[in-house]
Structure 1
């Protein structure tokens, strides 16, 4: 393998330029910008209207039974100021809505602002030569948290203005509830809906496996490429055959030629519509094999097995992936491919544009780029995406988006699942002959996640969001099995997924041990934890007196405080010293109160506000989420309204243009902008004013090793002398403490976290995987940075030092060790503090096992809020 970095001065030597460092924290922050965090609107059906299309004999456009039609206002129509035109999917005029019906709908279609309604239509059955029926739906769109109340309000207004002329649907049912009282009281989901949701979860689990036999039938015979030095397993060889077929044979699965009214048309079975022009076929698909089955190896095999047909065709396969996965692609190509068979380019660093001529000339076979770099280039060329049509260049510069690729591959493709992000728009803008998405999780939160992938793959017509929603996501939301059936058909044409059971893969034995660690003997750690837990619980109980909605309004603040509690479970040192002191002092004050006098709701809210300092995330200087640069303390500006932090220059620009927090969208004023240095001085002064006798000696020197670190060292002593281990934590500051303890105990280690460049990550994995006597014994890994995409099978012990809300995240990390290529039994040690929040998180993980499977029908917006409230009560040990 030869590697070309993004620097013209480099040759095929594999060296990287010194300035090509990519920080994963910056990559994550790519999506932490104003355009990426715009809240997704949800929709609710307010009412249906049985209408009639007239005048159809005067127009050439036709509409079929089941076809979606557009209703377009014609305020300038010379015959009727209320005219509403009906167009078919191809944009041809079909007719007009009957005059009397248009008079009812027109005022609602003309409304603007928060009372606006969108109007959609479907042809229920064919009519005659003069008119045809149409089912009109009035739909409201609003942020999820406001949707139920907004829909209810509009429904009431419709009833007053048009009475019985509409057939009403409960607005809240389609927004996810069966009761119109759900906006003000608890939601009780009917047993029927619960059973249907459970059925969907089961459907999703079986969706791919039921189809795999059919998908893999009659595959072309494909030989293992001669340049591949690894013998493919049977299911991988079969998968290669499917990949080659999808990559080389254009597909139009949802269209057929037919004649209508004497002309040849293409009829779509998804939208029940016809069009004169031939749709564009797609090449490619989704490889969704379960993690650990070798999606990377199968894709490398495809690159070798299906090269460009001619020397003049585009030569390059572009692989877009998280920066943490780039090193794995390099290593896998080097491990499995004959030396010199593929030249690999690394598109990163300020000189990356110098690679463009080599890509065009065919000198590079495989080009690696991170999602962050691609999104950055998109912004430079096209500016901020507006979602209102094709992107147009803002700058006349040559870029990666001008290069025609042989194929483009998205690894960890669920990264683009939100269609409002720059990452999604950047990937969609790439030009390639075939397009691939690799992911073990095509559906993360909802079925709309799949739409983003279908759009990227250019699968017509489901790449169109409106058609996807009307054919799939809306029926699924309403409990209609037709939506799930449509999704099943669609995925059978574009996706392949095998589980380990389906692939008949026998992995080595894996044992998971839950180690409950006691605070006993660690007074300082217990004191800090108790103070943090006690104050949050008391504040929560107080605010709860104002009702559940009051608590949900403080959800983000409470969630932040729970994160600090989880850090305290790891080590009290993770909580900054002044914050420990403040929390303990507040807790002492609360304990001295008359316990018969419960805090009022107002006092609870005030306490939450006061605790912001104790739970601030500013223990370490962050990067600005707008410009992605690390800030000095003098540059940090805190927004009082939400406690988010930005550099002074960026937030000043936001203030002048659109004064909403780029992360949470809360409005703010100039008076809400507080310098970090001023906040630190105020906190310091407040601490000095306290009685010296109240101060608790809890500086770092006085705090011994945390119970968890002591338990880890004890576990290491019980490991086999020649074994290696991987130690995971989501907190990089905890990894630092662990590293110090390992050094003191004489253990060697390497580390991988989000602050490291791709080259250093690659070096760390290579050193740990070595069998040399002096190779490091332990691998310290950030759960996020190393949770996916890398191979750590040299280790046989995985130490999970803290728990994550979603057990699937931890399981992904375990799969870095327990996967194909592992030849020894694997032991996983999960460290959990006894009688703490962590134990209850583990219980919550088990209770949420149905959802963690990725059910298509997850809880609706209002149900999610109620579920969160129940979870919070359980975590804080508050009885209903």
Structure 2
């Protein structure tokens, strides 16, 4: 009779057989020879189809211990397939195709044995709901047994990895059998009692408890990475080129230098021992060094990296002089390549060199007009500074940066490569070097998956590829066991250093939120925009063109206009006539740092990750530049509202007046740092403060580099400069603005990490004053919805593993914020 092998995808495979039952003579009890055999772990979620109903199985259960929670069955091959066998040697079920593939990969390993395990309660439920003929048993786990030696364990790991199979903790083991999982990442020297992990699975936790446990475990791991984990401490003899010894002022920075030097020390690295157990034989066994410095913002990651470069100038020169690249097209250089998000950050690195070092580092810029035209400038230098967008352009053109073999590559604000589908990631990951470092205060921005992109760039053993890191480090978290975070904890403790700002002993900071209500006129305009958006969505849904981009543009435009009403109210601002409300550079939003500083190589980006602006040339502008003199929002919305004779006489909105009130009440001598996302709001703030006689400075994405430097220096040093207004993107990374003691966040940002980075410009090393952080939210508007979405994303960032579809994910966010449903 034909037998169907069930698969996890729902399809079935036929097995022709003229025999319904068969006796096999080579079925071996997996528990035989317990003295020299251990369990390597279990394959989960197996399914098996009964060959001749549940009758044979029921007969065996009647003769067994009815109080047992689990039933064990040997697994062996019969008729070319892996089957479960009864005690009398009869094959009674056939395993599903995925399980077949995994077991077939191990079948030729000497002395390997398999055993199926499933719970008696599961069986009773299946009996009640299935016909007697050929039912399918589900939720089976298959324990893998083999010799207790490293050769066999490594072979099992390697073979399973090739078929994307992962060994989890056994649900149940017979008494007396030892358990050791060769795929479980353990730091050399650590001792794990694997026997305590038996039975730890996601089946024992509900979804809510599992999420809470994962969130707690990730928080605990990140908070535990505050010490250097090396076999010995490398002595530091500071160069005469360093103006101040780190040990006297900032000991945590010296600790970071020690960590980086030890992670690059070949004699201390674990590359050798870890590669002995490496899971993929297809990877060349070339030692890799580096790691992740994940200190929170304001801890001096830049200076620690520069001091590390200073300490390794000699070995870098030896590398360039005596290294013979395996690829003829790669030219070795002693230089460290540092990649930063913007030109502004290039200047920040140069400033740190000038501030802390005598002229010891030869620095070369690779950016726009300052790109060298040949190899020599990149060979005869110690440090090369470039941006992610310049690097992406070089990657597309197979340019100089990708034809060098660098002594070291450092990614500053490394979360820029969190999306592995972008040119940023591809350009960074294809650079040639054996020393790779990621610097970021937010290693998890949107998803736990962000870590796997960083791991893919770092290429550190034993899980150097994104898929293996996700499989063997991240996915065990979802099992829910008390020790299933151990692989992630061990990996990060080995390769990551993270310190919180509490080690700086900073003065306390205070956070507060001021809620305001829209005026009557503002509320009418706000409601009209929402109604117009719903009409437009109805037209799209009822029409033939339901493309994601079209929906996105409607939702984006409506959300943008509603948020601008929250900021500016109803009237045409007096500064609009100067052109500040007109989108600059076509489709690029000049108020967003990522958009405004796009220099090259980003044509593949469809939506800005920060401001969510669509980049496609044919997308409609968010501001139409309507000549309507009564409404800067344009497109005739104001015409639908009867405001004649009742227009506001005040030039400023409810929110802007609230911000002015807070600044003026703070009194003289207080310096304020004010962040907004949009050019119109920035200029509105400038206008309202200058109108009140307050000395105000403005920096946004279009401010020249030299002018930014001058304005920031003025704010830091001039006691009369009391207010610095900045776009969030411009001020979110790399700056030191500790003169400010009051930070104002005008509107909520889509990404909570960007807000945190902006606030960290003031709450950082060197801050001597108590800092007040004030956020402004308009009640009953999309701003409250965005704050709720922020909170949700901060939680889910530690719980989700998938990369997601950027377009659809943004669409869902907009629909949630606006409270609309679109099928």
If the length of structure 2 is used for normalisation, what is the TM-score?
Answer: 0.64
CA distance change for structure 1 residues 467 and 482 in 2, over 3 Å: closer, same or farther?
A: farther
Partner of 2:291: 285
Contact 2:444/2:451 (8 A) holds in 1: yes
Contact 2:525/2:565 (8 A) holds in 1: yes
CA distance in 1, matches of 2:366, 2:533: 47
Partner of 1:855: 798
3-state SS of paired residue (1:46): coil
Partner of 1:113: none
Give how far 1:662 is off.
5.1
3-state SS of paired residue (1:803): coil
CA distance in 2, matches of 1:712, 1:242: 44
Give how far 1:281 is off.
1.2
CA distance change for structure 1 residues 575 and 725 in 2, over 3 Å: closer, same or farther?
A: same
1:198-249 Cα deviation digits (max 9, x unpaired): 1111111121443544616631221343322244322222222111111233
Give how far 1:569 is off.
0.3
Partner of 2:782: 837
Instruction: Give 2:679's match in structure 1, choosing from 712, 732, 741.
Output: 732
Instruction: Give 2:394's match in structure 1, choosing from 349, 374, 377.
Output: 377
1:804-827 Cα deviation digits (max 9, x unpaired): 244443222111111111111212
CA distance change for structure 1 residues 336 and 691 in 2, over 3 Å: closer, same or farther?
A: closer
Q: Which structure has the greater CA radius of gyration?
A: 2
CA distance in 1, matches of 2:559, 2:477: 34
3-state SS of paired residue (1:442): coil
Contact 2:746/2:776 (8 A) holds in 1: yes
2:256 pairs with 1:239: yes
CA distance in 1, matches of 2:206, 2:810: 19
Partner of 1:787: 732
CA distance change for structure 1 residues 801 and 310 in 2, over 3 Å: closer, same or farther?
A: closer
CA distance change for structure 1 residues 481 and 423 in 2, over 3 Å: closer, same or farther?
A: farther
Partner of 2:439: 438
3-state SS of paired residue (1:435): strand
Contact 2:418/2:453 (8 A) holds in 1: yes
CA distance in 2, matches of 1:331, 1:866: 39
CA distance change for structure 1 residues 621 and 129 in 2, over 3 Å: closer, same or farther?
A: closer
3-state SS of paired residue (1:704): coil
Structure 1 segment 136-285 matched on structure 2, within 5 A? 192-210=206-224, 212-213=226-227, 215=229, 218-232=232-246, 233-249=250-266, 253=270, 256=273, 267-268=276-277, 271=279, 279-285=285-291
Partner of 2:409: 408
CA distance in 1, matches of 2:367, 2:809: 44
CA distance in 1, matches of 2:374, 2:714: 29
CA distance in 2, matches of 1:206, 1:797: 31
Q: What is the aligned residue count?
A: 626
3-state SS of paired residue (2:369): coil
Give how far 1:348 is off.
1.1
CA distance in 2, matches of 1:562, 1:128: 60
Give how far 1:460 is off.
3.5
Structure 2, gaps ≥5 residues long: 1-6, 16-23, 27-38, 44-76, 83-96, 117-129, 142-164, 166-202, 321-332, 575-579, 592-600, 609-616
CA distance in 2, matches of 1:618, 1:190: 56
Instruction: Give 1:562's match in structure 2, choosing from 559, 562, 577.
Output: 559
CA distance change for structure 1 residues 539 and 674 in 2, over 3 Å: closer, same or farther?
A: closer
CA distance in 1, matches of 2:700, 2:536: 35
Give how far 1:691 is off.
13
CA distance in 1, matches of 2:548, 2:456: 38
2:655 pairs with 1:708: yes
2:691 pairs with 1:744: yes
Partner of 1:334: 354
Partner of 2:583: 620
CA distance in 1, matches of 2:471, 2:636: 63
CA distance in 1, matches of 2:487, 2:416: 24
CA distance change for structure 1 residues 454 and 675 in 2, over 3 Å: closer, same or farther?
A: closer
Structure 1 segment 655-666 matched on structure 2, within 5 A? none
CA distance in 2, matches of 1:701, 1:662: 39
2:304 pairs with 1:298: yes
CA distance in 2, matches of 1:250, 1:466: 29
3-state SS of paired residue (1:248): coil
CA distance change for structure 1 residues 700 and 757 in 2, over 3 Å: closer, same or farther?
A: farther
Partner of 1:818: 763
CA distance in 2, matches of 1:476, 1:691: 52
Structure 1 segment 563-578 matched on structure 2, within 5 A? 563-572=560-569
Contact 1:267/1:274 (8 A) holds in 2: no
Partner of 1:509: 508
CA distance in 2, matches of 1:844, 1:456: 30
Contact 2:214/2:477 (8 A) holds in 1: no
CA distance in 1, matches of 2:109, 2:726: 70
3-state SS of paired residue (1:354): coil
1:314-352 Cα deviation digits (max 9, x unpaired): 3322110110422221222222222x2223222111351
3-state SS of paired residue (1:353): coil
CA distance change for structure 1 residues 858 and 554 in 2, over 3 Å: closer, same or farther?
A: farther
3-state SS of paired residue (1:368): strand
Contact 1:254/1:268 (8 A) holds in 2: no
1:340-392 Cα deviation digits (max 9, x unpaired): 222322211135133742221x2x322211101110111122xxxxxxxxxxx
1:680-726 Cα deviation digits (max 9, x unpaired): 99999xx9999989775699997721122222222222233223211
Contact 1:321/1:369 (8 A) holds in 2: yes
CA distance in 2, matches of 1:840, 1:100: 58
Give how far 1:132 is off.
5.8
3-state SS of paired residue (2:364): strand
Instruction: Give 1:366's match in structure 2, choosing from 371, 383, 387.
Output: 383
If the length of structure 1 is used for normalisation, what is the TM-score?
Answer: 0.60
Moved more, 473-482 or 511-520: 473-482
3-state SS of paired residue (1:315): coil
3-state SS of paired residue (2:734): coil
Contact 1:803/1:838 (8 A) holds in 2: yes
CA distance in 1, matches of 2:243, 2:742: 29
Contact 1:327/1:759 (8 A) holds in 2: no
CA distance in 2, matches of 1:856, 1:847: 11
Instruction: Give 1:347's match in structure 2, choosing from 356, 366, 377.
Output: 366
User: How large is the Cα RMSD of the aligned pairs?
Assistant: 5.5
Moved more, 469-478 or 778-787: 469-478
CA distance in 2, matches of 1:870, 1:452: 23
With a CA cutoff of 8 Å and minimum separation of 6, indicate the structure with the bigger relative contact order.
Answer: 1
CA distance in 2, matches of 1:558, 1:688: 15
Partner of 1:46: 9
Contact 1:800/1:828 (8 A) holds in 2: yes
CA distance in 1, matches of 2:529, 2:660: 27
Give how far 1:840 is off.
4.8
CA distance change for structure 1 residues 674 and 370 in 2, over 3 Å: closer, same or farther?
A: closer
CA distance change for structure 1 residues 800 and 673 in 2, over 3 Å: closer, same or farther?
A: closer
Instruction: Give 2:528's match in structure 1, choosing from 522, 531, 545.
Output: 531
2:327 pairs with 1:307: no
Give how far 1:410 is off.
0.3
Contact 1:319/1:411 (8 A) holds in 2: yes
CA distance in 2, matches of 1:517, 1:444: 29
CA distance in 1, matches of 2:468, 2:676: 42
CA distance in 2, matches of 1:842, 1:129: 55
